[in-house]
């Protein structure tokens, strides 16, 4: 695999991550309301990143979070490893921070840093119902906000803990914002390197059809993500599978 493909694959995966992607779907509900008490105050999940199911690992990712009853912070750091790192060294970090309300997470700021790149950010102004997407200090674009809209990282936890989600929501990244539909699929049992988990499967699709994500959350581990599969428009399938799940650590 050439270095350009490796970099494109990683960045696409994190445009998800988790910017998301486009098929008709309906809103869904599950029991209960959002509450900080349902989510450990801190924790981490480590992932291996592979090309395809059973493919050669090309990297690793570390997701961490902390929160009180009213504020949260989370981070996702990804890097290439092994042969992939020798072809192209990639360091990519997403960070999200914001508040917690009765309807779930309300992002205030989403940041992305990459080795050798200008920092990028999305700044959420909920009073003005507007998000500003910036590179350095310059605004590149903006979008209107509605209740329940998320950034690319906060949506990982919002999906798992919201009592209900709208038919579509805006998922904001460091380059754009995409209208997204989320469908709840089946519950089942899933084996990943970290072990076997009872999981709930979600399908995430952007309305422009550019990205398709499947996400499995562990029912017995606070709805933490244990597998994510991305199929992008370049026929690259990336698989993130948990190698350790550490709520409370």
pLDDT band of residue 53 (cuts 50, 70, 90) is: confident
Q: Is the pLDDT of residue 51 over 90?
A: no
pLDDT for 60: 92
Q: For residue 22, what are the CA distances in angstroms to 13, 171, 179, 183?
A: 16, 13, 9, 11
Report how many domains make up the chain: 1
Q: Which of 94, 111, 84 is nearest to 8 (CA)?
A: 84
Rounded distance, CA 222 to CA 52, Å? 27
Compute the average pLDDT of residues 200-217: 85
107 beta partners? 98
Please write the tens of the pLDDT for every residue from 84-118: 777 777 788 999 999 998 878 999 999 999 888 99
pTM of this structure: 0.82
Mean pLDDT of the chain: 81
The domain in which residue 18 lies consists of 3-247
Residue 150 is part of a domain; what is its CATH number?
A: 2.40.360
Q: Is the pLDDT of residue 123 over 80?
A: yes
pLDDT band of residue 162 (cuts 50, 70, 90) is: low
- Rounded to the nearest 10°, the torsion over CA 18, 158, 132, 139 is -20
Rounded distance, CA 120 to CA 37, Å? 32
pLDDT for 32: 45
Coil, helix or strand for 155?
A: helix
């Amino acid at each position: 695999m050439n270095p350009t493909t490796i970099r494109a694959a990683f960045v696409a995966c994190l445009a998800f991550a988790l910017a998301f992607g486009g098929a008709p779907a309906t809103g869904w509900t599950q029991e209960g309301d959002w509450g900080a008490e349902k989510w450990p105050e801190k924790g981490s999940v480590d992932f291996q990143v592979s090309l395809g199911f059973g493919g050669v690992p090309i990297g690793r990712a570390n997701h961490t979070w902390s929160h009180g009853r009213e504020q949260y912070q989370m981070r996702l750091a990804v890097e290439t490893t092994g042969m992939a790192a020798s072809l192209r060294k990639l360091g990519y970090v997403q960070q999200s921070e914001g508040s917690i309300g009765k309807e779930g997470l309300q992002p205030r700021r989403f940041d992305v840093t990459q080795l050798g790149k200008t920092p990028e950010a999305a700044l959420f102004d909920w009073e003005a119902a507007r998000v500003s997407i910036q590179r350095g200090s310059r605004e590149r674009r903006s979008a209107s906000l509605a209740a329940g809209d998320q950034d690319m990282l906060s949506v990982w936890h919002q999906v798992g803990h919201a009592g209900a989600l709208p038919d579509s929501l805006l998922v904001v990244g460091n380059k754009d914002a995409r209208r997204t539909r989320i469908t709840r699929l089946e519950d089942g049992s899933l084996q990943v390197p970290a072990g076997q988990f009872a999981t709930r499967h979600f399908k995430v699709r952007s309305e422009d059809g550019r990205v398709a994500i499947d996400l499995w959350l562990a029912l017995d581990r606070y709805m933490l993500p244990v597998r994510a599969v991305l199929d992008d428009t370049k026929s690259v399938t990336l698989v993130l599978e948990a190698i350790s799940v550490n709520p409370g650590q």
